[in-house]
Structure formats: structure tokens, C-alpha cells
Amino acid sequence: MPGSDTVGLKAYGAYVPRLRLSRQAIAESNAWFNPAIKGLARGERAICNWDEDSLTMGVEAARDCLTPARLDEGAPAIAAVTFASTTLPFDDRQNAGILATALNFDETAVTMDFAASQRAGTSGLLNALRNAGAGDSLFVAADKRRTRASGPQELQFGDAAAAFTVGSGNLIADYLGGHQLSTDFVDHYRGADSKFDYNWEERWIRDEGYFKIAPRAIAAALESTGLDGGGVDRFIMPALIRGVPKKVAAMAGIAPGAVRDTLQAQLGEAGTAHPLVMLVDCLQEAAAGETIMVVGWGQGCDVLLFRTTEALKSLPPRQGVKGYLARRREETNYNRYLSFNDLLEQDRGIRSEVDAPTALSALYRNRDMVLGFVGGKCRICGTVQYPKTRACVSPNCGAFNSQDPHPFAEIPATVQSWTADNLTYSPDPPAHFGMVVFDEGGRLMADMTDVAPGEVAVGMPVRMVFRRRAVDDRRGFIKYFWKATPDHTAEDATGGAT
């Protein structure tokens, strides 16, 4: 039974992109070639905007998880950051390190990427739980998978991220134990030089994979924790093959009513992140004392068991899966989706032909300002400004070397002025940008994202989000910075204490 040294989950967060691509739009564009996909043309799937990827989604899920605790000076420091994904933006640059910098964590935080399997999400969380004695850690999983046009995966996949803080003390869910099986059962794979997954036959995956491997892992996890299937209140298992979660649950003696909705209709399947996205969705409505089983699949099987606590009720509100699913915008333009995912070769015009290499030395020197969005606050007069400079910008002060680092990412802001430019190149024209004024002081000429023509107005509340600023295709380098987006947080935050 849980004791004083129990480890588990302390908080959760999630992120789902605002855009929802209608599956009907996909089917209408491709059914001439593959009529079978009409059977999948119900509902919608979450898709990233052109400036989003696994890393940007991971940052937003982490912010959802950590806020408002990270604003409390008494909150424990994060000792480790783990980022799990099979679609990491960089193959040879630590993505967890970029994420930690964007969140302004101390350089002493241990950072690690988990990859190379759809099971990386649950395996990474297992690893974080097993090493939880060294202090609180942050675990993040995200995936943005590309697919070939007209295949079933194009309709089935979705983009999303989930995050958890892991540690001991004041837990919202005690970790009861788990089990892990590693076996090279190949249901799909993606080679080092491939853009897309290669998928094997569904009946083989179902009968020889799910139905033979998953029950063994579940049985071992139940035995190690002294539980039985009847004691599981919530069963989480993603699977694209219809009926698999219910059948596996039945084989383990788990009641049909415990099987969670896979969120396929509203979101799609988010790869590495999906079992943890489902876990966040579950925690947003779970009561104290419930036993939750999470199953992760991919070249083996992971099983994790949690029991929710009374602390879940007092967790501060956050967006979570339910909040982000609610802030949707329907997308019916299939060509826009293809363009955003580089699946369509476009003539982007001569204005897009700008060769702008990144000065890596300058990026390093200014990494807190660029990636962490840190400005300055004058110790003499209290003036807040971005960027931080040697001299205070207040005309009544002007003190030199008087500024302490001051993070801006969580400060509410409003639009002072704006424009929509159809001449400047943008992957999603028109390019919106304007002057953003922060409530604590300071202002910035910022790009705007997740807005359509007619949605921006003077005085509109905005929040800053970590996004792709540009991509240097010639050198394979992605430039990240912060943009302004409409702030829906106050009006639709859900979960936690609600």
C-alpha cells in the first residue's frame, strides 16, 4: 500500500492544436483513388498549424502542467526533464534541452530524449517514476506524425501532447506499480531515411500482437501489485484497430465500463503521446480512490497502475485535454493541411526566397531572451522591459546594469495595434503582427498565430506561445521564438478544482 515514500503524479497538463481537420474533407479529396477510406470519414482530427511541431506542443503541455505552480517561488525546482517523441525536430540536438530552456529551468536539470518506439511515452514515464527519488521531474510526450495522402493513417492520426510532474509528496495519483515487456513485434516501422511509417496487416497485429502480448503484460502488472482486473476502475489503451481495447480488457477480467474512449472521433491517435493524453483526459474527471491502468504499445507493452488521491480535487484549474478540445477551429481546406505538413510542392514566390542562416554563437549568447523569452526588471525603479538592456528604458531612471532577469511568457498582454500583411511571405497568409503590451509593463512587436482574418482587434487579450519562427531548409535548422495568440485561458479553463 502507498506509504510516506510513495512516488507518483503531482500534476498534469496537455495540449491539442486549435485546428481540426474534417475527415470528410480528406475522404472527398482522396476517395477517387481509395474508396475504402470513406468508412473512416466521421469526426475530425487535430492538426498542427504551420508553426507547430512536437517540441512546441511539448512546451505548451508543460506550461499547462506547471502553471500556476511554476510562478510560486516556493514551488520545488524541477530536477529532470524527459521528452518522449518519435517525431523530434532534431536528430542530433537534444530536444529536451530546448524545452527546458524555453521553460527557464536551471541548467543543472538533467535532460533526456526518449524516442524510437510508440512505447517511448509510457516507457519514459516508467523511467521517470523509477527515478523519482532524486526530486521532482517533468515528463513530456508529443507527436506530430506525417502520413502519405489517401491512406487510412491520414484520417486516423492526430497531433497532441501531454505532460506530468513526477515526484513524492502531495500526489494526485500514487504509482502502484507496473510491468514492461520488450519484444520485437513489428506492427509498423519507419526507417532512418523514411518520412512515413510502413504498416503491416491489421489482423496479424490484432491476433498475434495485441491479443497475445498485452494480456501477458497486464497479468504480470496485476500480480506484482496484488490487484485483479475487477479492481481496475479506468482502463486506458490506445489502438487504431476497432474493438481491441475492449477485448484486451475482457481477457484481463476488467469490466467493459472501465474502458476509456480513445478520443478518436475528436482528436485522432497521437502516437507516443496518446496513452498519456488519454490519462490526462481521465484525470480531469476521475474521483479520489480510483484505480487507473495505462497500457502503452510498441515493440512490446508497458503497463502502469495508479490510484487517485484526495489531492486531485484541489489541483488548480488547467486546460488539459478537455479544455483544448473545446477551443477548436474547423479546417475543411485539405490543401492547407498538405501545405502545412510539406506534403505539397508549392510555388511560394520570390518573397520566400530568403537565405537567412542562424548565427549559432548569437543564439547561444541570447538563448534566455530568444528561447526563454526573458526580459529585464530594473532594481532601482521597477521598470519592466523586453529585451533586457544595459540601460533602463525609463526616462526617469536610466540606470546602468540595474536589470534582473524577468520572464515574460506567463504575463498577460493585449494588442495595442496590429496589421494583416498580404505582401510579406507567410505559409498561411496574411501575416498577422502587431504591438503587444504586457500587463506588468514592456511591449513587443510580435507575430500573431492561430488567428484568421477578422479575428484580431485592438485591446484583444493575448498570451505568448512558443512556435517555429522560420525554417532554414538549406541547413536543416529550425528557428523558434514566441508569438502572440488569442487568450482563451480565463474563459475556458477546465479540470483541476472544477
Average pLDDT over residues 319-343: 96
Whole-structure pTM value: 0.96
Domain boundary among 277, 310, 340: 340
Same domain, 131 and 253: yes
At 74, is the pLDDT very low, low, confident or very high (cuts 50, 70, 90)?
A: low
At 67, is the pLDDT very low, low, confident or very high (cuts 50, 70, 90)?
A: confident
Using DSSP bridges, classify how beta strands 160-168 and 137-143 pair: parallel, antiparallel or unpaired: antiparallel
**Per the domain annotation, does 192 fall within a domain?**
yes
- Which one, of 129, 217, 224, lies nearest residue 181 by Cα? 217
**Per the domain annotation, does 406 fall within a domain?**
no
Tell me the pLDDT tens digit for each residue of 108-123.
999 999 999 999 999 9
Same domain, 278 and 144: yes
Same domain, 233 and 141: yes
Same domain, 425 and 304: no
Distance (Å, whole) CA 382 – CA 90:
39
DSSP string for 393-411: --TTT--BS-EEEEE-TTS
Q: What is the dihedral of CA 282, 288, 290, 296, to 10 degrees?
A: 40
Same domain, 317 and 427: no
Q: What separation in angstroms does the CA of 136 have from each of 3, 62, 307?
A: 17, 14, 19
4: pLDDT strictly greater than 50:
no
Quick check: bond before 17 cis, omega within 30?
no
Tell me the pLDDT tens digit for each residue of 370-409.
999 999 999 999 999 999 999 999 999 999 999 999 999 9
Domain boundary among 296, 314, 340: 340
50: pLDDT strictly greater than 70:
yes
Same domain, 425 and 299: no
pLDDT of residue 348: 87
Same domain, 120 and 212: yes
pLDDT of residue 429: 95
Domain boundary among 279, 313, 340: 340
At 443, is the pLDDT very low, low, confident or very high (cuts 50, 70, 90)?
A: very high
Average pLDDT over residues 60-77: 78
pLDDT of residue 313: 95
DSSP string for 435-458: EEEETTS-EEEEEB-S--TT---T
**Per the domain annotation, does 287 fall within a domain?**
yes
SS (H, E, C) 291-306: EEEEEEECCEEEEEEE
Q: How many domains does the chain have?
A: 2
411 vs 75: which has the higher pLDDT? 411
**Per the domain annotation, does 483 fall within a domain?**
yes
Average pLDDT over residues 449-470: 97
32 vs 75: which has the higher pLDDT? 32
Average pLDDT over residues 281-298: 98
Mean pLDDT check: name the lowest of 38-52, 338-352, 408-422: 338-352
180 touches 159 (CB < 8 A): no
CATH of the domain at 35: 3.40.47.10
Distance (Å, whole) CA 4 – CA 20:
44
Residue with cell 486546460: 319
The SS3 assignment for 10 reads strand
- Domain extent for 327: 7-340
Q: What separation in angstroms does the CA of 55 have from each of 62, 139, 273, 352, 471?
A: 10, 13, 12, 24, 14
**Per the domain annotation, does 388 fall within a domain?**
no
Percentage of the chain modeled with pLDDT above 70 = 96
Q: Which amino acid belongs to residue 392? A: C
Same domain, 259 and 168: yes
At 75, is the pLDDT very low, low, confident or very high (cuts 50, 70, 90)?
A: low
239: pLDDT strictly greater than 80:
yes
Same domain, 39 and 126: yes
At 492, is the pLDDT very low, low, confident or very high (cuts 50, 70, 90)?
A: very low
- Which one, of 411, 410, 418, lies nearest residue 459 by Cα? 418
Same domain, 263 and 151: yes
Same domain, 333 and 418: no
At 435, is the pLDDT very low, low, confident or very high (cuts 50, 70, 90)?
A: very high
CATH of the domain at 479: 2.40.50
Q: What separation in angstroms does the CA of 171 have from each of 5, 9, 316, 451, 498?
A: 11, 6, 13, 38, 18
100: pLDDT strictly greater than 70:
yes
At 73, is the pLDDT very low, low, confident or very high (cuts 50, 70, 90)?
A: low
Residues 408-446, buried b or exposed e (16+ Cβ, 10 A)?
bbebebbbeebebeeeeebbbeebbbbbbebeebbebeb
Query: What average pLDDT does the chain have?
Result: 94
Average pLDDT over residues 250-279: 98
Mean pLDDT check: name the lowest of 76-80, 136-140, 254-258, 421-425: 76-80
**Per the domain annotation, does 305 fall within a domain?**
yes
**Per the domain annotation, does 370 fall within a domain?**
no
**Per the domain annotation, does 453 fall within a domain?**
yes
